[in-house]
């Protein structure tokens, strides 16, 4: 289900506690300092985020990122049956194209502050997890681009029996649309929106067959934004609900190999019957995929799938979207010091273009993590994403490259440095841009 690695940690018994401390305690430092994760964020930006409904069929192996390092792992604070993991990251970055402009790029420095806190239960059965934090950005000159993102989540797992369990999650996020997002309305300030989510999933194992069923509900609420030349850009017509029910059947062929079939619905309902241009953007659709999950002695593991997707729109001016859907998450460990991760995904994204119902977005990315020293991690990666807009001739090609390092000084401090390059090549006039981003980060944790 959501956050499958966290779920495995929550199921860990007392004998695996060092790994729990390693993964959770170091997570905040890695999230800010490893360029591989920065590359992943650029490969799949937050506006493309879609939660994973179902958990993994095959347990995943140990990688450079989640490997326990007892000499530098944060210990956390033990409070009864819970562990508390606080952290804060300070960063200075240089962005040479703040507004993702095709010409006359504006550069600026930005200070970022990222406080986070996570609470995890330390129980043999059942589990509860809580997390909250924020990411606040302050530009030195372009102060209108400042942002204050925040999140809070809660998750739980109920072990009904050795073969049955229930998982649930609740969350709220305050986010902003990045300049360069295809849906950016070019307001005087970035668009702020809220994302409320909740989900429930149950699974039961019958010998070699596991059946899972569940879904999630998401609410998107956009704030109006001041226009560049005065006035206000009304964005109430973007507010919507999204419902994603699903069912999955997996069959374990032999230990370490499983085949699965998955069907998911996708229903989107807008608050306003028509948008500001008079279009009804309500839609419904489905994905049906088949795939395989594997673990070759912990050296190559992950899953791959392919299938078909259809999306129907209430407004007759928008054509039905029909096409393939593909996805993969594969991890290869060529040596004990190196981890290579390949990811591919595809999604249908809502559009703010008055003539387009949305766009099909398909991408692939690769990251490499290398443990040069026990406490020095080098990372690099790249990605490519292709966006094809329905109803109009626009297509975007998005490339990313990144490199970075993370130095784990001790249990309490880590230093990070990263460089990332992004490029969009579009057939729409004025939509091309290049961007270089250099960041230095310091993370403190307990």
34-43, 82-91, 200-209, 329-338: least confidently modelled range: 34-43
Confidence of residue 17 (pLDDT cuts 50, 70, 90): very low
Separation in Å, CA 24 to CA 34, 54, 343: 15, 21, 22
Confidence of residue 44 (pLDDT cuts 50, 70, 90): very low
Higher pLDDT, 100 or 59: 100
Measured distance CA(40)–CA(36) in Å, rounded: 6
Confidence check: pLDDT of 34 > 50:
no
The residues with which 257 forms a beta bridge, in sequence order, are 254, 294
Confidence check: pLDDT of 33 > 50:
no
Structure tokens at 72: 């530098």
Q: What is the mean pLDDT of residues 28-50?
A: 32
Confidence of residue 204 (pLDDT cuts 50, 70, 90): very high
Confidence of residue 255 (pLDDT cuts 50, 70, 90): confident
Neighbours of 81 (CB within 10 A): 10
Looking from the CA of 330 toward its CB, the CA atoms found within 13 Å total 16
State the residue for tokens 């067959």. 209
Residue 336 has what pLDDT? Answer: 87
Among residues of the chain, what percentage have pLDDT more than 70? 87
Measured distance CA(129)–CA(174) in Å, rounded: 20
Q: Write the DSSP string, 196-262.
A: EEEEEEEEEEETTEEEEEEEEEEEEEEPPEE-TTSSEE--GGG-EEEEEEEEEEEEEEETTEEEEEE
Neighbours of 96 (CB within 10 A): 14
Measured distance CA(409)–CA(309) in Å, rounded: 47
Residue 13 has what pLDDT? Answer: 33
Measured distance CA(45)–CA(383) in Å, rounded: 12
β 108-121/127-139 pair status:
antiparallel
Structure tokens at 115: 């406080």
Contact 74, 412 (CB under 8 A): yes
Separation in Å, CA 431 to CA 32, 363, 399, 426: 29, 19, 14, 6
Q: What is the mean pLDDT of residues 74-93?
A: 93
Confidence check: pLDDT of 86 > 80:
yes
Residue 408 has what pLDDT? Answer: 95
Residue 280 has what pLDDT? Answer: 93
Q: What is the mean pLDDT of residues 233-257?
A: 94
State the residue for tokens 């990332």. 420
Contacts of 204 (CB under 8 A, 6+ apart): 163, 164, 210, 211
Confidence check: pLDDT of 355 > 80:
yes
Confidence check: pLDDT of 14 > 90:
no
Query: 285-298: b or e for each residue (b if 16 or more CB lie within 10 Å)?
Result: bbbebebbbbbeee
DSSP state at residue 75 = -
Among residues of the chain, what percentage have pLDDT more than 90? 69
Query: pLDDT tens digit string along 282-320?
Result: 999 999 999 999 888 788 999 999 999 999 999 988 888
Q: Write the DSSP string, 131-167.
A: EEEEEEEEESS-GGG-EEEEEEEEEEEEE-SSSEEEE
Tell me the torsion sign for CA atoms 379, 117, 177, 348: positive
Neighbours of 356 (CB within 10 A): 17
Contact 40, 380 (CB under 8 A): no
Structure tokens at 212: 């899972």
Confidence check: pLDDT of 67 > 70:
yes
Longest dimension (CA), the chain: 65
Q: What are phi and psi of 297, to 5 degrees?
A: 50, 30
Query: pLDDT tens digit string along 143-195?
Result: 999 999 999 999 999 999 999 999 999 999 999 999 999 999 999 999 999 99
Measured distance CA(295)–CA(330) in Å, rounded: 10
Measured distance CA(140)–CA(94) in Å, rounded: 10
Query: pLDDT tens digit string along 256-271?
Result: 899 999 999 999 999 9
Measured distance CA(35)–CA(211) in Å, rounded: 37
DSSP state at residue 274 = S
Domains of the chain are 4-445 (2.40.160)
Confidence of residue 46 (pLDDT cuts 50, 70, 90): very low
């Amino acid at each position: 289900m959501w956050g499958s690695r966290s779920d495995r940690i929550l199921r860990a018994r007392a004998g695996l506690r060092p790994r729990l401390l390693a993964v959770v305690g170091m997570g905040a430092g890695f999230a800010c300092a490893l360029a591989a994760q920065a590359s992943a964020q650029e490969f799949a930006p937050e506006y493309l985020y879609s939660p994973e409904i179902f958990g993994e069929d095959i347990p995943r192996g140990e990688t450079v990122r989640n490997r326990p390092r007892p000499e530098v792992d944060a210990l956390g604070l033990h409070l009864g049956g819970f562990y508390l993991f606080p952290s804060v990251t300070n960063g200075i970055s240089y962005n040479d194209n703040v507004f993702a402009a095709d010409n006359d790029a504006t550069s600026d420095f930005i200070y970022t502050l990222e406080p986070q806190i996570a609470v995890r239960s330390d129980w043999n059965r059942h589990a509860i997890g809580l997390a909250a934090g924020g990411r606040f950005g302050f530009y030195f000159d372009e102060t209108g681009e400042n942002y204050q993102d925040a999140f809070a989540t809660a998750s739980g797992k109920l072990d009904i029996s050795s073969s049955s369990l229930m998982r649930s999650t609740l969350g709220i996020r305050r986010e902003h649309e990045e300049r360069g997002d295809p849906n950016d309305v070019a307001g005087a300030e970035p668009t702020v929106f809220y994302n409320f989510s909740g989900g429930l999933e149950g699974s039961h194992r019958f010998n070699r067959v596991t059946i899972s069923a569940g879904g999630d509900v998401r609410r998107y609420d956009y704030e109006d934004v001041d226009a560049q030349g005065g006035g206000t850009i009304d964005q109430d017509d973007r507010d919507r609900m999204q419902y994603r029910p699903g069912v999955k059947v997996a069959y374990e062929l032999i230990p370490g190999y499983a085949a699965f079939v998955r069907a998911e619905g996708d229903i989107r309902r807008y608050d306003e019957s028509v948008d500001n241009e008079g279009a009804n953007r309500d839609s419904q659709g489905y994905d049906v995929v088949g795939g395989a999950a594997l673990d070759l002695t912990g050296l190559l593991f992950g899953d791959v799938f392919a299938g078909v997707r259809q999306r129907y729109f209430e407004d007759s001016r928008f054509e039905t979207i029909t096409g393939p859907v593909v996805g993969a998450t594969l991890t290869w460990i060529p040596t004990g010091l190196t981890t290579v991760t390949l990811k591919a995904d595809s999604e249908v994204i809502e559009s703010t273009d008055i003539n387009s119902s949305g766009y099909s977005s398909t991408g692939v990315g690769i990251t490499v993590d290398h443990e040069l020293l026990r406490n020095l991690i080098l990372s690099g990666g790249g990605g490519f994403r292709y966006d094809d807009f329905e109803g109009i001739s626009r297509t975007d090609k998005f490339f990313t490259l990144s490199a970075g390092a993370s130095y784990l000084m001790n249990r309490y401090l880590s230093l990070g440095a990263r460089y990332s390059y992004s490029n969009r090549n579009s057939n729409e006039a004025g939509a091309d841009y290049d961007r270089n981003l250099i960041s230095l980060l310091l993370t403190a944790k307990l």
